[in-house]
Structure 1
């Protein structure tokens, strides 16, 4: 049941992204207004999956070759924010999203899907805000129901509801 709900959540997320693309597609292909991932590289935030340290803007091809076949599948779609294709790899409890930058596949985001995984600092979905602040400190921005921490090129977002972590997302800022 858990895997089915994870796949449903992943498919819904992909659908939302594709719907958002329709709104952005009015930009001409040669537009310079498309978002560009940050050029900063050093961040204190990373995530470890199967013993492999994953960093946003890292080499997605290297990561996925080390991680092996994604247990929940793979999906790609034309990017509405970047050039080329967005790529989604669904591993147990974790979704990796890639984008293309200078002809290379880079890791854009890492989404923790359930409480079976936790951050290197020990925070998982279901934990209280106090635990997040204890692990990461009070140097965060609170906006739209999220606690946002930033370091180097990485934004670490804790989506909160009723003082409880609902989702954890590492992304390029």
Structure 2
């Protein structure tokens, strides 16, 4: 981060190389629109370039990047309908090479999960995305969302309780 803060573009390129894929997935998960996702990722990287001097190091670089991506995606999301936010679920659930009948079953499960996630309050859905889809720890998610760890835990617990009946139905 010091190199980015001193204006060395190779360092920003390296940050992009290391983190752009998961940031893109997270942003797309929030927006459900490919073009807006690409624009938002560029906005995130511009914010990193311009704000690198403000990075204090009290969170990992990855957590800091997710926090920026979260705020930028929230701003961009105001342009989209609510249902678009859970669109990425279907793609993430699809298997690599399913048989035709398996493909139909996968689609049905993906639709059910998408509907359940879309029905969650935004704050609960965001915690589920950060923790289960992107692998952040509870403390990292708390830093990204700028809330206490207890808040993350309670949102996660409520979301899982709401999703439990659906997950039981979908279990083989």
Structures share a fold, TM > 0.5? no
TM-score (norm 1): 0.23
Q: Which has the larger helix fraction?
A: 2
Max Rg structure: 2
Q: Which has the larger strand fraction?
A: 1
Relative contact order, higher structure (CA 8 A, sep 6+): 2
